[in-house]
Copies of this chain bind each other. A is one copy, B any other.
Amino acid sequence: MQLDHLAIAVADLDAALTFYRDALGLELEGIEAVEQEGVRVAFLPLGDGESRIELVQPTREDTGIVKWMAKHGPGMHHVCLSVPNLESALARLAAHGCELINPQPVTREDGTRYAFIHPRSTFGVLVELYEKPE
C-alpha cells in the first residue's frame, strides 16, 4: 500500500501555489479542471513521483468540498492510498465492520476506480482507496 496523494482543499488554487510551489519549493506538474466533480486540481509530485500533493479548489457551489470547507476551512481533505486490489481491500474493510462511503468501487471517466472510507471508521481521517490501472 502506497500513498497516492494528499488532497488539500483550498478556496484559491493560485494563492495556495504561492506557498506550496513558490515558498515550499514543490514542483507544479500541472493543473486540471475536473468538470464531473466541480473542481480544479493542482498536482505537485513528492519524492520519486509515485505520490503527490493535490490542491483542490471547488469550481461549483454544489460540491461536497464546498460544504466541507464551510465547516472546516481550508486544509487536509483526504488521504488516498493505492492498493493492488480494490475489491479485496473493500471486502476486508466490510468484514471488519468499517463504514464505506462507496461499498462498491466508483469508476472515473478515465477508467480509474476508487472508494472512500467514512471518517467515523478511520478515527477522523477521510481515506480514499485507489487501484492503479494496469
Spell out A's residues near B (CB within 8 Å): 1-3, 6, 8-10, 15-16, 18-20, 22-26, 46-48, 50-51, 55, 72-76, 79, 81, 89, 92-93, 95-98, 119, 121-125, 127
Contacts and interface: CB of A to CB of B under 8 A. Distances in A.
Contact of A51 (B3, B72, B92, B121): B3
* Copies of this chain per assembly: 2
Contacts of A19: 96, 98, 121-123
Contact of A81 (B2, B46, B72, B123): B46
Contacts of A25: 1, 89, 92
B125 A22 contact: no
Contacts of A127: 24
A16 B96 contact: no
21 contacts: A1-B26, A1-B47, A2-B48, A3-B47, A8-B124, A10-B124, A19-B98, A19-B121, A20-B122, A23-B93, A23-B95, A23-B97, A24-B127, A51-B51, A55-B123, A73-B124, A74-B123, A75-B123, A75-B124, A76-B76, A76-B79
